[in-house]
Chain A
Amino acid sequence: MTTLTHEHEAHPGRQGPAPPPRGWRRLLYPGLLRAAWMAPLFFGIGCGIVVLCRWWGGWQPIWFGEIIVLVGALIAGPIGFLAGIGAFDYWVRYAIGSPTKPEDHSGHGAYSWRDYFRVNTDHKVIGIQYLTTTIFFFLAGGLLAMLVRAELAKPGMQFFDNQTYNGLFSVHASLMIFLFVIPAFAGLANFVVPLMLGAPDMAFPRLNALSYWLLPIAGIMMLSSFLVPGGAFAAGWTGYAPLSIHQPLGTIFFNMGVQWAGASSIMTALNFLVTIITMRAPGMTFWRMPLLVWANFTTSLLVVIATPFIAGSQFFVMFDRVMHTHFFDVAGGGYPLGYQHIFWFYSHPAVYIMMLPGFGIASEVISAMSRKPIFGYRLMALSLMAILVLGFSVWAHHMFVSGMAPWLRVPMMITTLMIAVPTGIKVFSWLATIWEGKLNFATPMLWAVGFVSMFVIGGLSGIYLGAVPIDIHVSDTYFVVAHIHYVLFGGSLFTIFAGIYYWFPKMTGRQYNEKLGKLHFWLTFVGFNLTFFPMHLIGTQGMPRRVSDYAPQFANWNLFISIASFALGASTIVFLYNMVTSMRRGAPAEANPWRSLTLEWQVSSPPPIFNFDEIPQVVGNPYEYGVPGARHAVLNGDRAATETEVRSR
């Protein structure tokens, strides 16, 4: 039954883009070479506009460093880079009414490693671009965390001064949130969602390519803030005003980095929504969509609606800084608490943006690996929607001690506790799916089950924090640090690993090393708990977060946590080694190693360049494991494997 693979699609001679011209014309050919001169050119243009405006308006000094950096280096330069690599070529030709190149699909697919370094419109290539980029920033953020733990190993000051230390944890958090968790989910979904829907690509492939290329810009911007005078942004990833307004120059690198990353995720979300609504295969009703698609549908709605609010909040901070406006300045009539309201109105939904796709991955993995239909499919989907709606009504639970209007506390507490209901529905449904299943504890399943157990701990400490009295007691302590790492590390990161291992055979056409995968899981799982569980204890005892020095009574636990965290960091080496060696020399993967029913597994590994020869016909639900004769889809006039046949293989 491997007739479903499309060998004939593999490589019928080299397709792909025409080879670049030789000589000086190469400088005009879209790519990194053109970006190398267009970025400085646009930087110059940006500086010129600033100087011209200041000269015309009579502002002194005409050459003002901060605005030059902002407009030249953080806005115009990146636009030049994007224009250089060719992200706008098609649109520029369209806009001025020139004949656009007929679509020959030359920008589609990857034939050599070079194709990953150009503007590529293939959702599968973009998915892999996303994943490798985000893993790079994951490593960078992880190394920063190691530096933070090195400083905290002993009371007193070891390696860094206070400002540098603050910069370390701020950049750590920002990279992990904006450059790893959110885009890594977008990358996995980019690869998988069009395949799952039976679509040849995303709805807007060129927009998809553009939204990927915004990411490296945002990440490099945040990392490079270490190089500017005054050091990296140091007001935490939350960047509370008015503190952040009076920080050194590095802060605007955060403000603008968030804008680029936010623009990227809004564009991707819009693309997902349109793809899911308009490009489903015939027969794929909303109630036949895999839960991963549901999860990305709700996440994308959250992104489209909420992300503009963080854009707004960072604009305000930037304006207060460079234009001396008074958004958050009491003396000028501003409202300092406004920042926290606007920021958390995005950043609480963002917690679900960082979690819901993980719920989707866990549902896929757990159902396929338990050989049982997912328990309560419709309620699983509806609880995603419930989280989406409730997620917008809880933001002020981050502000119980901020001095906001006291009457806001109790309503926010009630809505916060209510969110535990749909989340609980999901957890119990996963458990019920596993219950009496024929469990296959391959690496993805280990991560998925590890996720469910760790997420329950993180979720429960979240309920503690949602209750006003407890929150007042543990606010800004390590209890909060423990909570956020249990939901974002034990929750999001575990599902990202589950997803990477689960779809690794599909993405690369090779199987990862199962032993190393399991070793990676157990090292991470143990290291993670040893690192973060004790933080609950020292948190309740009152150790404050975001400090580089602490009372000697916490010394022992902190040394223990630091040692455990280094072990946790080292476990990543196993992952990297496994990925790199398996990608190059792993055993060739079957089309459907997990015997899954969803559509992406019914094509070859890696999938053909346009996913399907013909659009499949969906005839049933995606999780009918163990149901004799059940099938999800029919492909190419061939019959897709029925569950009975899959089992008899």
Chain B
Amino acid sequence: MAAAHAEAHHGPPIANQSSRVSASVLGMLLFIASEIMLFGSFFTAYFFVRVVNGIDWPPHPFELPVFVAGVNTAILVTSSFTMHWALQSIKRGNRAGLQAGLLLTFLMGLVFLLTQAREYSRVGFAPHDGAFGTIFYCLTGLHGAHVFVGLSILLFMTIRAFRGHFSPEHHHGVEIGGIYWHFVDVMWIVVYSTVYLI
């Protein structure tokens, strides 16, 4: 007991790890579950407008830039691979690979977001142009907001990578930010196929 007394004031006891999954990864996965439900509520609104009300998609004078958005999709999907490359690099201790991977991912995400903004200004309708415009802008806008958050996380990871943080043993920051970025990409594929393609 004497030893316990001596250590008592230095901090908490080490918590028992009762699961193989790490706390931060599990936290991120649960957060993503919650995010999926947020997208779910927007898709429910989409369902009501497009399926229940059965409006034309897109309604007559408007057209969706399917090709440009398709190229944009390809950019975003590619950025998922560079993200993965960055994580694999730091796992093997390759710092240059980590930095290049994060930087490329960030730039591709930025290009995606700027293209999206450009598309908004040229697409020819506004959020208040009927339920079609509403759903289009709110679904792509919600996703855009997530890209923005993902880009911020990527920016922070990149800064840390260039300031010498992360190592083969400690790369949780990259892993968790990476999970979020993959989620943003997968979500875009769902948004793209429901809003643009079908």
**What is the interface of chain A, defined by CB distance below 8 A to chain B?**
6, 8-9, 12, 15, 94-97, 103, 105, 198-201, 203-204, 266, 270-271, 273-274, 277-282, 284, 304-309, 311-313, 315-316, 319, 323-327, 329, 332-335, 337-338, 341-342, 345, 610-615, 636-637
Contact = CB atoms under 8 A, between A and B. Distances in A.
B74 interface: no
B102 to A, nearest CB: 12
B16 A306 contact: no
B48 A105 contact: no
B65 interface: no
B165 interface: yes
Given A270-B31, A278-B17, 20 more contacts: A8-B8, A271-B27, A274-B27, A279-B16, A280-B18, A282-B18, A304-B33, A308-B34, A308-B37, A308-B41, A312-B38, A315-B138, A323-B128, A324-B127, A327-B134, A329-B131, A335-B48, A338-B52, A341-B48, A636-B4
A335 B18 contact: no
A312 B41 contact: yes
Contact of B5 (A8, A305, A313, A333): A8
Most A Cβ at <10 Å: residue of B130, B137, B162: B130
Contacts of B156: 94-97
Contact of B159 (A97, A304, A329): A97
B21 A319 contact: no
Contacts of B1: 636-637
Contacts of B61: none
B86 to A, nearest CB: 16
A306 B162 CA distance: 39
A326 B134 contact: yes
Given A311-B41, A334-B131, A278 B19 contact: yes
A345 B12 CA distance: 41
Given A96-B159, A308-B35, A334-B134, A342 B45 contact: yes
Nearest to A611: B12
Given A325-B127, A333-B55, A334-B134, A305 B33 contact: yes
Contact of B16 (A281, A315, A332): A281
B163 interface: yes
A282 B15 CA distance: 10
Interface of B: 1, 4-5, 8-9, 11-19, 21-23, 26-27, 30-31, 33-35, 37-38, 40-42, 44-45, 48-49, 52-53, 55, 127-128, 130-134, 137-138, 156, 159-160, 162-165
Contacts of A280: 16, 18
Contacts of A319: 127, 134, 138
Contacts of A200: 12-13, 15
Given A304-B34, A333-B130, A341-B44, A613 B17 contact: no
Contacts of B35: 308
A312 B45 contact: yes
Contacts of A345: 41, 44
B30 A335 contact: no
27 contacts: A97-B156, A200-B13, A203-B27, A270-B34, A274-B26, A278-B17, A278-B18, A278-B21, A278-B26, A280-B18, A305-B33, A307-B34, A308-B41, A309-B40, A312-B44, A316-B45, A325-B134, A326-B130, A326-B134, A333-B55, A334-B134, A335-B52, A335-B53, A338-B45, A338-B52, A611-B12, A614-B13
Contacts, number: 178
B12 to A, nearest CB: 4
A277 B18 contact: yes
A581 B42 CA distance: 50
Given A204-B27, A273-B30, A612-B13, A338 B37 contact: no
Contacts of B160: 94-95, 97
A9 B13 CA distance: 13
Contacts of A277: 18-19, 21, 26
A97 B138 CA distance: 34
Contacts of A637: 1
A613 B8 contact: yes
A12 B5 CA distance: 12
Nearest to A617: B16
Contacts of B27: 203-204, 270-271, 274
B6 to A, nearest CB: 10
Given A204-B23, A335-B53, A306 B37 contact: yes
Nearest to B20: A278
Most A Cβ at <10 Å: residue of B30, B127, B163: B30
Contacts of B134: 319, 325-327, 332, 334
A304 B130 contact: no
Nearest to B41: A312
Given A97-B160, A281-B16, A319-B127, A327 B45 contact: yes
**Can you list the 5 inter-chain pairs with the closest CB atoms, starting with the nearest?**
A312-B41, A333-B131, A200-B12, A610-B12, A308-B38
A272 to B, nearest CB: 10
B50 to A, nearest CB: 10
B128 to A, nearest CB: 4
A311 B16 contact: no
Nearest to B43: A312
Contact of A332 (B31, B45, B130): B130
Contacts of A96: 156, 159
Nearest to A337: B48
Contacts of B44: 309, 312, 338, 341-342, 345
B37 A309 contact: yes
B18 A284 contact: yes
Contacts of A304: 30, 33-34, 37
Contacts of A281: 16, 18
A355 to B, nearest CB: 21
A219 B62 CA distance: 43
B145 to A, nearest CB: 11
A88 B40 CA distance: 29
